[in-house]
Structure 1
Amino acid sequence: MTQAIGRRLLGGAVVASLLGTAVTGLTTRAAAQSFPERPVRVIVPYAPGGGTDVVARVLAQTMSNLLPQPVVVENRAGAGGMVGAELVARAPADGHTILFTNTGHSVLRLLVPNPSIDIRTALSPVAIVSEAPMIMMAASSFPAQTLSEFISTVRASPGRYDYGSTGRGGTNGLTALMFLQAAGLAMNEIPYRGGAPATLDLAAGRIAMLFDASSTALATTRNGQARALAVTTARRSPSAPELPTLREAGVDADMSIWMGLMLPSMTPPAIRQAVHRAVTRALADTDLRARFTDLGTDTIPNLSPAECELFINAEIDRWEGLLTRSGFRPNAP
């Protein structure tokens, strides 16, 4: 009798578990089909006004026009981007809180002392929104008109000249480090709290070099505040076809700055796909594409969430390796 009761109880538990799983699956699918059910928060882990913030706002506005709910950008800067990353990682995994980040995300594990999350496991990439070159700029007063002349001038006076960055975890600093290592040059890093103050010092001639995203660098150089010398991509950029690549000057290096969206890692696949569909729909908008072109975006990759995850994991490996080879001390306080 006891064994029979046990079997009935066990059978009931299994049925309940299966029913619970089925109900959860149905609920998730329903949520995905009705996404978004309330305003969507896009967290930009950097200060307002930078290239990533500008692109995020263009995308958010287009998504707001296409979706039944508004998409609102919130800036949560701090710790090189970790503050915003942690906020999203701990948010409800329902697709309504999204991280909008860039290449600098790749080195957060090295930069932040005792990080409370592992960006590889706490966040799930869902879309790569854009890829574009960084642009190498020199101060207008610098005694070089071309990239080759710049390299020759700096090589002749190791340690004499300064370059701007937003810290080695920022894309400005990572790109400069890549360039200096590949070219065999020695310059002094001057860290800034953001790209805007670094650009002001470049325009004033207080620093010699600055790499910046094309979305903001092209405006800087076309306004005459600095001289554009090169793009960092493997091929010349359609946004600035007159600029040579680094390789054309004999520097064995190339990179593009990517911007992408991530969700909490526990987000169900159906919700991830719903967010991916909403973003893909916005990226197909003619006005958005024209605006992205104006901002210097070269490509809008068409990657699935799984492909995005492979891409970003490869970027983490690449940039963590670059910092490690430079002698950077991981998690230094």
Structure 2
Amino acid sequence: MNRRHLLGFGAAAALAPVAARAQSWPTQPVRLVVPFAAGGPTDIPARLFAEELSKALPQRVIVENRTGAGVVVGTDAVAKAPKDGQTLLYTTVAHSVLGALFPRLPFDPVADFTPVTLVGVIPMVITVNKDFPVRTLQELVEKLRKEPGQHDYASSGNGGALHLAAELLLRRAGVRANHVPYRGTAAAMPDVLNGTIPLIVDVATSTLPFVQRGETRALAVMDSQRLPQLPDVPTTAEAGFPGLEAYTWHMVLAPSGTPAPVVDTIAQAFGKVAAERATQARLAELAMRLEPDSSPARAAAWMVSERAKWEGIIREAGIRID
């Protein structure tokens, strides 16, 4: 055997364990860590995927809700997990802003994680109290421009996705409003409904029931596509603000250093579940638009883009978490 053959044999031998790990994944029940409370808008899709993956894989996928310090506790648990694909993080846009909002974390949200797959996106909806005297996004912007600092907007908490989406709107439109943070959307909505707070930029999943019942008015969907559930509500581009898009998105991450073949295998497994009509129908009820490209490369590119976008808004708005 000559030197070239020996080198080739050595390379193949080195790659064999990695390939074997990918083919055998999972070797034990998979922990899908959700850093949000059970029963919430992130937990529900995670459990759907866990249920369907458990049917298709040789091992069960178990959702583990790890809450605390926002998403920090659950995220930290995955950062410190073995790099074998057996422990995964099911998270949202919150992950992309951790570094900007929390300067002292027990993990690096970039270096300690490998994006596996972008599951899908749920657009934000710009919504006002039903009696607030505006009927379009242009009218809202004009009112805020004429009455700077005289109106409030609600959010689910300082530095959260709703807060950032509203700041994106205000800064792109060049207008001002006062931020009133609540402890979650459920706490904010009563004041939006009674008119104490006229404006909220909320996740479609949460705001749809109120709009559909006529209790609030949707001015625009912050997406490139209209929501099937709100066919008469324009996108922000149609309302005169092209490129003004904001979502809460769902992504699966693995600990950094997880072998690439394993990461690819996990992404393919999630992609197969997402391609099923039953999955698509159930997630459509939550206003989630599934991502057709489930590859790790797509997930990584999306994360880079979202991080740059929201870190810019955090800097411009001077948002801090004390």
Structure 1 residues 247-326: aligned runs within 5 Å = 247-252=237-242, 253-326=244-317
Structure 1 residues 72-91: aligned runs within 5 Å = 72-91=62-81
Secondary structure of 1:133's aligned partner: strand
Residues 92 and 208 (structure 1), Cα distance of their counterparts in 2 relative to 1, 3 Å cut: same
The unaligned stretches of length 5 or more in structure 1 are 1-14
* Number of the residue aligned with 2:102: 112
- CA shift at 1:268, angstroms? 0.9
Native 8 Å contact 2:125 2:221 kept in 1: yes
Secondary structure of 1:79's aligned partner: coil
Per-residue deviation, residues 27-57 of structure 1 (Å, max 9, x unmatched): 4433322222222222222233432222222
- CA shift at 1:25, angstroms? 4.5
* Number of the residue aligned with 2:169: 179
Native 8 Å contact 1:32 1:270 kept in 2: yes
Per-residue deviation, residues 145-199 of structure 1 (Å, max 9, x unmatched): 3323333333332222221223343211111110011122221112222222223
* Number of the residue aligned with 1:56: 46
Per-residue deviation, residues 76-109 of structure 1 (Å, max 9, x unmatched): 2333422222111111111121111122221110
CA–CA distance in structure 1, aligned partners of residues 210 and 44 of structure 2: 15
Matched AA of 2:260 = P
Native 8 Å contact 1:50 1:196 kept in 2: no
TM-score (norm 2): 0.88
Bigger Cα Rg: 1
Secondary structure of 2:279's aligned partner: helix
Residues 50 and 160 (structure 1), Cα distance of their counterparts in 2 relative to 1, 3 Å cut: farther
Native 8 Å contact 1:239 1:297 kept in 2: no
Residues 70 and 199 (structure 1), Cα distance of their counterparts in 2 relative to 1, 3 Å cut: farther
Native 8 Å contact 1:80 1:108 kept in 2: no
Native 8 Å contact 1:126 1:305 kept in 2: yes
Q: Report whether the alignment pairs 1:328 with 2:319.
A: yes
Q: Report whether the alignment pairs 1:204 with 2:226.
A: no
CA–CA distance in structure 2, aligned partners of residues 326 and 207 of structure 1: 20
Native 8 Å contact 1:47 1:194 kept in 2: no
Residues 78 and 269 (structure 1), Cα distance of their counterparts in 2 relative to 1, 3 Å cut: same
* Number of the residue aligned with 2:129: 139
Give % identity. 38
Per-residue deviation, residues 108-146 of structure 1 (Å, max 9, x unmatched): 101113122221111000000002321111122323233
CA–CA distance in structure 2, aligned partners of residues 133 and 241 of structure 1: 14
Residues 117 and 161 (structure 1), Cα distance of their counterparts in 2 relative to 1, 3 Å cut: same
Secondary structure of 1:242's aligned partner: coil
Secondary structure of 1:250's aligned partner: coil
* Number of the residue aligned with 2:227: 237
Per-residue deviation, residues 207-232 of structure 1 (Å, max 9, x unmatched): 22222222222123223442222100
The unaligned stretches of length 5 or more in structure 2 are 1-5
Say what the alpha-carbon RMSD is for the aligned residues. Answer: 2.4
Q: Which deviates more, 250-259 or 274-283?
A: 250-259
Residues 137 and 49 (structure 1), Cα distance of their counterparts in 2 relative to 1, 3 Å cut: farther
CA–CA distance in structure 1, aligned partners of residues 13 and 184 of structure 2: 48
CA–CA distance in structure 2, aligned partners of residues 97 and 201 of structure 1: 40
* Number of the residue aligned with 2:31: 41
Per-residue deviation, residues 276-318 of structure 1 (Å, max 9, x unmatched): 1211111111100111222212342314212321221121111
Determine which structure has the larger helix proportion and give its number.
Answer: 1
Residues 127 and 54 (structure 1), Cα distance of their counterparts in 2 relative to 1, 3 Å cut: same
TM-score (norm 1): 0.85
CA–CA distance in structure 2, aligned partners of residues 65 and 96 of structure 1: 17
Secondary structure of 1:212's aligned partner: strand
* Number of the residue aligned with 2:203: 213
- CA shift at 1:24, angstroms? 7.1
Native 8 Å contact 1:124 1:262 kept in 2: yes
Secondary structure of 1:301's aligned partner: coil
Native 8 Å contact 2:203 2:247 kept in 1: no
4+ residue stretches of structure 1 with deviation over 4 A?
A: 21-25
CA–CA distance in structure 2, aligned partners of residues 153 and 48 of structure 1: 39
